[in-house]
C-alpha cells in the first residue's frame, strides 16, 4: 500500500505554474515586488494544477505519541504531560487552538502512540500503534512493520480530511521527548554530529542537554540506521507521531495538496518523507525557522526557505497555522488583484 501511495505522487503542473507566473506579471505592481507571496502562489498553482489556486479548507493535523528514550532523562517534563496536552487540544485551550481559529483552520487531533489509554472524546482520532516507542538507546524504537503501519495510518487520516474538503494541510505534533528522535533523524540524514543538532527542546538544563546528545549518539551506534533508507531510519530512531506525519505528507502529496511544515519535529517527518519519496519535496512549504538548535540545517537539507522566523519552539502546528495564512494571502493576491489592463494603469516606464 505504501508503494501505491508513493507511485501517485506526481511532478508539479508546469503549465499551471507558467500561467500563474504570467498573471503575476500583469498585476498592478512591479514584477516580483511581493517576493515570497508571488513564489508561493506559483508553487500552489503547480501543486493544485490550477492557474489560480484557492485555499478555503484549511486543516491542521496534530499527532501525539510518546517515546521510550525519555528514560534517559532527555526532557524537562514527564510523559504525563503528553496526554494532558492532548486533552487541552481537545477542549480548545492550547496555542494551536487559538492560532487555528485565528486563520480559520480546523484541527484534527490524533493519538498515534500516547503512553496511556486516552479518555474517549468524539474529536480524538485514535490510530494508536502502541503505548509509546521503545527506548532507542537499547535497540530500535519500533519494528519496520509498525513504522509502515503508522505511516499508512497518517495517510488514512489525511485522506479522510481530504474527503471532507482540504486545500492545504499543516503538520503538528505533541510528544514529550520527541525532539530527541527528531535530532537523531536529522543526524542520520545530514551527517551532522548530534551535538550540533540537538537543542534544549522543552528547556533542559546543561546536564539534560548532555544526556540528550549522549542518548542520540548511543542510539545511532546501537541501531546503525541506513541513511539511504528512510523507513529504516524511522523505525530505528523515530516515533509514532513522526511516522504518522510522514503519512500525512505522503498522502497529501499523492492527492495534490500542499503541506505547510511546522517546526523541528514536523521537519524531521518531512525529511523522512522526502527520503522515501523525493518527489514530495515540491509539495512542502516551510512555515518558519524554529528556535530549536538544528532546525536551520534540516530546512537547508530539504532545500526549503522558511516563510518567517518568530523564535517559535512550541510545535503543535502553531507555526504551520500562521504559514497557512501566508499561503491563503498568496492565492488571494493572484486571484483578486487587478491587472494593469483591468485598472487602466500603464505598465510602461
Catalytic machinery residues: 316
What single DSSP character describes residue 168? E
Region of 116 on the Ramachandran plot (φ > 0 left; ψ -120 to 50 alpha; else beta): beta
Does residue 109 contact residue 124 with C-beta atoms inside 8 Å? yes
174: β partners: 64
Closest CA to 183 of 201, 157, 207: 201
The distance of Cα 312 from the centroid of its chain, to the nearest Å, equals 14
Does residue 141 contact residue 237 with C-beta atoms inside 8 Å? yes
Closest CA to 186 of 35, 288, 294: 294
Query: Which three three-digit cell numbers place residue 300?
Result: 537547508
d(CA 231, CA 311): 31
d(CA 187, CA 339): 48
d(CA 233, CA 238): 7
Closest CA to 96 of 173, 199, 176, 180: 173
Which residues are CB-contacts of 261 (< 8 A; sequence separation ≥ 6)? 171, 249, 267, 269, 270, 284, 285, 286, 287, 304, 320, 323
The distance of Cα 110 from the centroid of its chain, to the nearest Å, equals 14
Closest CA to 166 of 245, 277, 248: 248
Query: Which three three-digit cell numbers place residue 102?
Result: 485565528
Amino acid at each position: 500500500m505504501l508503494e501505491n501511495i508513493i507511485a501517485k505522487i506526481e511532478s508539479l503542473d508546469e503549465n499551471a505554474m507558467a500561467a500563474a507566473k504570467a498573471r503575476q506579471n500583469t498585476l498592478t505592481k512591479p514584477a516580483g515586488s511581493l517576493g515570497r507571496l508571488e513564489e508561493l502562489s506559483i508553487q500552489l498553482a503547480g501543486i493544485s494544477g490550477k492557474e489560480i489556486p484557492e485555499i478555503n479548507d484549511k486543516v491542521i493535523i496534530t499527532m501525539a505519541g510518546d517515546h521510550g528514550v525519555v528514560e534517559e532523562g532527555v526532557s524537562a517534563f514527564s510523559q504525563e504531560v503528553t496526554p494532558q496536552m492532548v486533552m487541552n487540544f481537545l477542549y480548545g485551550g492550547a496555542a494551536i487552538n487559538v492560532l487555528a481559529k485565528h486563520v480559520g483552520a480546523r484541527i484534527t487531533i490524533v493519538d498515534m502512540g500516547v503512553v496511556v489509554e486516552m479518555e474517549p472524546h468524539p474529536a480524538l482520532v485514535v490510530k494508536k500503534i502502541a503505548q509509546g516507542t521503545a527506548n532507542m538507546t537499547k535497540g530500535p524504537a519500533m519494528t519496520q512493520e509498525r513504522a509502515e503501519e503508522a505511516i499508512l495510518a497518517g495517510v488514512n487520516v489525511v485522506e479522510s480530511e481530504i474527503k471532507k474538503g482540504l486545500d492545504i494541510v499543516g503538520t503538528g505534533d505533541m510528544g514529550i521527548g520527541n525532539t530527541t528522535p527528531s535530532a537523531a533523524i536529522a543526524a542520520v540524514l545530514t551527517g551532522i554530529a548530534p551535538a550540533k543538532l540537538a537543542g534544549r527542546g522543552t528547556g533542559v538544563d546543561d546536564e539534560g542537554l548532555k544526556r540528550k546528545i549522549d542518548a542520540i549518539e548511543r542510539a545511532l551506534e546501537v541501531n546503525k540506521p541506513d541513511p539511504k533508507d528512510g523507513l529504516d531510519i524511522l523505525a530505528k530512531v523515530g516515533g509514532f507521531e513522526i511516522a504518522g506525519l510522514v503519512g500525512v505528507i505522503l498522502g497529501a502529496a499523492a492527492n495534490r495538496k500542499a503541506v505547510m511544515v511546522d517546526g523541528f519535529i514536523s521537519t524531521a517527518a518531512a525529511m523522512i518523507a522526502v527520503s522515501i519519496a523525493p518527489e514530495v519535496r515540491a509539495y512542502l512549504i516551510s512555515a518558519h525557522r524554529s528556535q530549536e538548535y538544528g532546525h536551520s540545517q534540516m530546512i537547508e537539507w530539504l532545500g526549503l526557505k522558511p516563510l518567517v522566523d518568530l523564535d517559535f519552539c512550541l510545535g503543535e502546528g502553531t507555526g504551520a497555522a500562521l504559514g497557512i495564512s501566508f499561503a491563503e494571502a498568496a492565492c488571494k493576491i493572484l486571484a483578486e488583484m487587478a491587472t494593469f489592463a483591468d485598472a487602466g494603469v500603464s505598465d510602461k516606464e
